[in-house]
Chain A
Amino acid sequence: MQTPLFASVEEVGDRLATAGYLASTAVATTVFLADQLGKPLLVEGPAGVGKTELARALARATGAELIRLQCYEGIDESRALYEWNHAKQLLRITAGRDEGWEQARAHVFSEEFLLARPLLTAIRNTEPTVLLVDETDKADVEMEGLLLEVLGDFQVTVPELGTITAARRPFVLLTSNATRELSEALKRRCLFLHLDFPPAELEREIVRLHVPGLDDTLAESVVRLVGALRGMELRKAPSIAETVDWARTLLALGADTLDESVVEATLGVVLKYQADHRKATAELKLATVLDRTPG
């Protein structure tokens, strides 16, 4: 067992905060546990609540290297684990025309011709590593089998080279938007963290951290209005990133209060569907308010 990265839950929170990520108790506790128990951490939640950002902040906070495996439909072993560099192997064989089979084989299947993909890179890395497996739910079920094998023992067998065992266990973070249920087996090996939209106070802090120039009362109105929007039944609730974007937009526009005309003009920053836009306008009674204003 290698020495853990963090000594206490509070330390996790503090160090993530210095790395620019304000963690709730849930996040800090789960990260601490994942580190202590040496288990992968599966983070699930709607888009834009800071799942990927958590991995980045972790890497920054611990001074580790971030290795990212972006999943997509049809991703396979050769994209995730390793691949032989066929073209280079062919060149090598043509170059060494006179040598025998034994020699050629020994050469061709060596480190030089191995293309390490994210999983293998993370396992072989001797430096501290954060391995981010992003959008795991997009990958096919076969991929989960591979992940199980790799994340279970932290070792990979390359038939020509033998078994490679992790020199140092990476901190593994898997994210999922829950577009499909991941398999039970994979979930059972992970700690589970459901990230949702943060409470108002925390979001206010986040806005303040990322848009330091913004007036405090304006930041508060932005957060409250976003909270109200999330309370409606929209197709796509505004994400944290969108809240921050909105705050940036307001700062750029030089708005000093969040009144109806400003909201009406900039609502597109947080709501990306026409139907959502209509609904929010109706529920916040923006139209009637605008009618009443003279001019």
Chain B
Amino acid sequence: MTGLPDRLVEFVTALREHGVPVGPSETVDAAAALRVVGLADRDQLRESLAATLLRRSGERAVFDGVFELYFPAAVGVRQTALDPPPGDDLDAWRDLLVAALAEGRDERLRALAASGVDMLGRFGSGAGGGPMAGWSAYQTLDRLRPESLLARVLAAMRDRAGTEDPLAEEVDRGEAARRVARFRDLVQQEARRRTAELRGRERVSRYGVAPSTDLVGFTTAGRAQLAEMRRTIQPLARKLATRLAARRRRARRGQIDLRRTMRRSLATSGVPVRPAFRRRRQGRPDLVLLCDMSGSVAGFAQFTLLLVQALRDQFSRVRVFAFVGVTDEITHLVEAGEDDPEGLASRIFREATLTWWGTNSDYGNALATFAERWLDAVGPRTSVLILGDGRTNGGDPNLRALRRIADRARHVYWLNPEAEPLWHTGDSAARAYAEVVTMYECRNIRQLSQVITRLLPA
């Protein structure tokens, strides 16, 4: 058992590895807070550390994950675990789970998760033995299958309420789904904690704790993570818009326009009472987006689409094109899709012609169709953003078409959701494209928002 200061420093180091910037002064504050609050109450301990170490709201999930590992609630099997556990009978387990989910009390779910991981999640040669042993959240959840219990949970909730109310049922449905998600979280937390006892905290925290939403890679994000990302769009757009507006305001202060000042001063017998400033042209840019909607990068393209849509006040005009094999305009679909961001992708595929055959992206053909049919959408005031990984699936990259677009536009930027070291690997033509237009790596929300602020002219 290491001393408290060491533990605190290890904890802070783990947070930093997850992209939470914690400085030494915060660590000192945290230590001071620990002295004041003490270790008796774990909730208070957690909140004290959060108050002193965190500076941003989005970091809380990471913090909680790491906290569970470094300041675990228990060692070994929890005291609060079920007594006695139902053994290997999976049906008994499911009955218990249905009851707990219908009731919705957190302690009960936590106890079930603890025993579940202990009994059902163990793999390898049990506790303490073998390099391959441990506790698996995946195995636990795979055997319990909480999602398949939703109908039963709903029925149990209805029984508890004792009424048949269609409105209550809709509310119940959402609540049950949230509780199942909560249970999954608890199981994962518990499995991480148990595994950490075996393998060491540093290792588990590095691989086991999910990174904060703005650091999740677009191409590797799961469904839940994409939904989580969508929730950040509105706040992010608001933040970017404020920043851009502030920049625009500052840029309005111009230099003295000597000619107009002189002219004005004639009215006051040559004394320049009212100086005239050189007016800067307020350039709200036109924006044209060209998005690869093929499977591999669709998540990235959709996110960026929605973000740009949320930022549309910042542009005089936004036009959006999508492609897989051929290009089609989808501006109207994106505008109409504001109320229903989840359904956007399916609507695009239903209503626009993106491919003649196959679902592989064909950059050569897509650029060619855009250059043929919509080149007039690009003018000298237009910024073109191309979203995609530049993987041509072996086809002709068609640099000529890209050059034609670049020649007409004010800027062409390419946002690539792949890591830069991968750009020239396999069938990627990203390097070749990067020679024609500027290409930015946009792997996660943080990079994307940096790039967008940098690109948008004030």
Decide whether A and B are members of one complex.
yes
| Residues on A facing B (Cβ under 8 Å) | 9, 25-26, 29-30, 32-34, 36-37, 39, 44-45, 140, 178-181, 184, 187-188, 191-194, 196, 221, 224-225, 227-228, 231, 233, 235, 258-260, 263, 275, 278-279, 283-286, 289, 292
Asked if residues B231 and A233 are in contact (CB atoms below 8 Å), the reply is yes
User: A residues within 8 A CB of B54?
Assistant: 192, 194
Give the nearest-CB partner of B233 in chain A: A233
Q: Is the Cβ of A283 less than 8 Å from the Cβ of B170? A: yes
**Counting CB contacts under 8 A, is B23 at the interface?**
yes
In whole angstroms, how far apart are the Cα atoms of A260 and B169 in the complex?
Answer: 12
A284 close to B167 (CB less than 8 A): yes
How far, in angstroms, from A37 to B37 measured CA to CA in the complex?
11
**Given A191-B52, A225-B171, 18 new contacts (CB under 8 A):** A25-B43, A26-B47, A30-B47, A32-B36, A33-B37, A37-B29, A178-B57, A179-B238, A179-B242, A180-B239, A191-B29, A194-B54, A228-B171, A228-B175, A235-B234, A260-B166, A275-B338, A279-B339
* 13 sample A-B contacts, Cβ–Cβ < 8 Å, listed by A number: A9-B44, A32-B37, A37-B33, A188-B25, A192-B50, A192-B54, A194-B54, A227-B174, A231-B178, A258-B167, A284-B167, A286-B167, A292-B166
B26 close to A (CB within 8 Å): yes
How many Å from the CB of A58 to the closest CB on chain B? 15
CB of B152 within 8 Å of the partner chain: no
Task: Say how far B176's CB is from chain A's closest CB, in angstroms.
Answer: 11
Q: Does B74 contact A (CB under 8 A)?
A: no
A188-B26, A192-B54, A289-B167 are known contacts. Are A33 and B243 too (CB-CB below 8 A)?
Answer: no
- B residues 197-241 touching A (CB-CB < 8 Å): 230-231, 234-235, 238-239
What is the bound-complex CA distance between A36 and B34, given in angstroms? 11
B9 at the interface (CB under 8 A from A): no
Q: Are A36 and B57 in contact (CB under 8 A)?
A: no
> Using Cβ atoms and an 8 Å threshold, which residues of chain A touch B48?
29-30, 33
Question: A36, A39, A192, A278 — which one has the most chain B CB atoms within 10 A of its CB?
Answer: A192
- The answer to whether B271 has its CB under 8 Å from any CB of chain A is no
Contact B44 A25 (CB under 8 A): yes
Please determine whether B170 and A285 come into contact, CB atoms closer than 8 angstroms. yes
Shortest distance in angstroms between A72's beta carbon and chain B's nearest beta carbon?
A: 13
- Neighbour of A285 across the interface among B37, B41, B166, B243, CB < 8 A: B166
Q: Is B32 an interface residue (CB 8 A)?
A: yes
Chain A residues whose C-beta falls within 8 Å of the C-beta of B165 in the assembled complex: 259
Verify B50–A178 contact, CB threshold 8 A: no
Q: Is residue B60 within 8 Å, beta carbon to beta carbon, of the partner chain?
A: yes
- Within the complex, the shortest CB–CB distance from A231 to chain B, in Å, comes to 5
Specify the chain B residue showing the minimal Cβ separation from A186: B55
Taking CB as reference atom, which chain B residue is nearest A187? B55
Tell me if A181 and B239 are in contact (CB < 8 A): yes
Is the C-beta of B168 less than 8 angstroms from some C-beta in chain A? yes
**A225–B48 Cα gap in the complex (Å)?**
32
* Complexed CA–CA distance, A221 and B37 (Å): 37
Write out the residue numbers on chain B whose beta carbons fall within 8 Å of the beta carbon of A278: 339
